[in-house]
Amino acid sequence: MPFDSFELIRLHPTHDFGEFSCGDNEGEKDLNDFLLTSSKSYQKELLAVTYLLVNKQETIAFFSLANDKISIKDHESTKSAWRRLTGSNIHYLKRRESYPAMKIGRLAVSHKYKKQGIGQAILNYLKQHFIDNNRTGCKFITVDAYKDSLGFYEKNGFKYITTSDLKSDTRLMFFDLTLIYNAIQP
């Protein structure tokens, strides 16, 4: 898919979306609704920022990003808390109870542009971006994925975060950026 005529822009509060539809099933309708009715509110509340892939006035795709973290409470973290209190000098990586992440809150491609690799290109852009321009530390990309798109994220290396959302409309998944970082080390 040639991107030469497209632009990637950050959502502006006065942006006119025009028409956008990524499809008609339940999840897709919700994604359309998110862009048209919620994306600006998330941005105004400083909860997520939406980016648009546009061709002149037409919205090709969008994605909304938020800061995230993956926190763990288990035997290891209990042990590490004790060690911290007692001043044990265990290596800092061993005692972490949370890891910085970036969440893809929503990502959708217009139905007119599906099956052209745009969604995957966006994921790859984000993966590399958070390696090359990782200004504050980000180890994982997380995503709140609709059921219909689980296969897409699996194909792109994402794993499930929890089994507690098996029956939910969306499932939380993560991608470990270490896999890319290791690949590009000399």
Partner 1 sequence: MAKPIKETPVLRRVDAKNFRREMEANKDKSISPAEALKIRADYEKIRAISKF
Closest CA to 50 of 3, 105, 100: 105
**Residues in 37-96 that interact with partner 1 by CB under 8 A:** 37-38, 42, 47-48, 51, 53, 64, 66, 68-74, 76
Q: Which is nearer to partner 1, 51 or 153 (CB)?
A: 51
Q: How many residues does the structure list for the chain?
A: 186
Stretch of 16-24, 25-33, 84-92, 108-116 contacting partner 1, by CB under 8 A: 25-33
Binding status of residue 22 toward partner 1 by CB under 8 A: no
Binding status of residue 33 toward partner 1 by CB under 8 A: yes
**Is 151 in contact with 33 (CB distance < 8 Å)?**
no
The DSSP secondary-structure symbol of 92 reads G
Closest CA to 153 of 180, 169, 171: 171
Binding status of residue 9 toward partner 1 by CB under 8 A: yes
The Cα-based distances of 130 to 67, 98, 116 in angstroms read 12, 18, 24
Tokens of 64: 């909304």
Q: 59, 142, 149, 158: which one contacts partner 1 (CB under 8 A)? A: 142
**Is 115 in contact with 61 (CB distance < 8 Å)?**
no
The interface mask with partner 1, positions 86-125, x = CB under 8 A, is: -------------x-x-x-xx-------------xxx-xx
The Cα-based distances of 30 to 16, 47, 99, 154 in angstroms read 19, 18, 29, 21
Q: Which residue has the tokens 């009715």?
A: 37
Interface residue list for partner 1 (CB under 8 A): 3-4, 6-10, 30-31, 33-34, 37-38, 42, 47-48, 51, 53, 64, 66, 68-74, 76, 99, 101, 103, 105-106, 120-122, 124-125, 127-129, 132, 142, 144, 157, 159, 161-165, 168-170, 172, 176, 178-184
